[in-house]
Structure 1
Amino acid sequence: MRILLLVLFVLLGALQWRLWFSDASLPNIWKKEQRLNDLTMSQDYLVERNRKLAAEVDDLKTGLGAVEARARLDLGLIGPHETFYQVIEDTRPDQITPSLAPGDADLSGGDGSAAKAPDPSTARGAGQTPPVASARAR
């Protein structure tokens, strides 16, 4: 009876060893399943990316809309009868409007008459143009 119990115990140990520490053990199987899931997700992403790229290539071959969109985005294309407006988002009003001198705060002159605006050619010198704060239009 003791020999049978010892044989069963050794057999159980051998099976447990194989279950946890061999090449086909549970931890190895779990690692391989995780790797398979990672590769499947990566493959799904790549298949979707390839589908989008194939659609873009097909659109570039057949349609002019994608070519025009790419030219507008990358090359700054402006079509005929279109006006280009450049919007600058990060500007403060004091960067656009010149600041007033301390004596220019009251433009009425105190007598109720409006003061004349200075001539830009005399204020900056002949031949110079005043800076333009608005966007350039084509």
Structure 2
Amino acid sequence: MRLLFIILLALVALIQYPLWKGRGGWFEVRELQAQLAGQKSINEGLLLRNQALRAEISDLESGTEAAEERARGELGMMKRDEIFVQVLPPNVKPPMTKPVDTATSNVGTAKPNR
């Protein structure tokens, strides 16, 4: 009787092994589900980024305000009659610059080629 119990227990263990550890077993399914959840969250982030880029493209195509904002922010451009003011954080010394003599300066006097 004892031998029959050991044989049946061994057969059950042989049957259960592929279910738990084999290809497509419980452990592999759980690991794949975790990978799938991670990939879904990455895809959602990329989808949001793509939507933001589409909105920016439509803004750039439809008007000049978005292009002007981008030129100001990224390229540091400004309009002709504007004054540039830079606010430095506390405890930061301003950069040393040479004084500009407006009488001899050629800034803004270039004539366009026609």
Shift of 1:82: 2.7
- The normalised TM-score by structure 2 is 0.68
Where structure 2 has 5 or more consecutive residues not aligned to the other structure, the ranges are: 100-114
Structure 2 Cα separation of the partners of residues 47 and 15 of structure 1 = 44
- Name the % identity: 30
Where structure 1 has 5 or more consecutive residues not aligned to the other structure, the ranges are: 97-127, 130-138
- The normalised TM-score by structure 1 is 0.58
Shift of 1:15: 2.4
Question: What does residue 51 of structure 2 align with?
Answer: 51
Structure 2 Cα separation of the partners of residues 87 and 13 of structure 1 = 74
Question: What does residue 60 of structure 1 align with?
Answer: 60
Q: Which protein has the larger Cα radius of gyration, Structure 1 or Structure 2?
A: 1
Shift of 1:90: 4.6
- Residue type at the aligned position of 1:40: K
Question: What does residue 39 of structure 1 align with?
Answer: 39
Structure 1 Cα separation of the partners of residues 71 and 17 of structure 2 = 65
Post-superposition Cα deviations, 1:35-84, rounded to whole Å, max 9, x if no partner, equal: 10111011101111111011111111112121011110122222244322
How many residues are matched? 96
- Residue type at the aligned position of 1:21: K
Root-mean-square deviation (CA, aligned residues, Å) is 2.6
- Residue type at the aligned position of 1:53: L
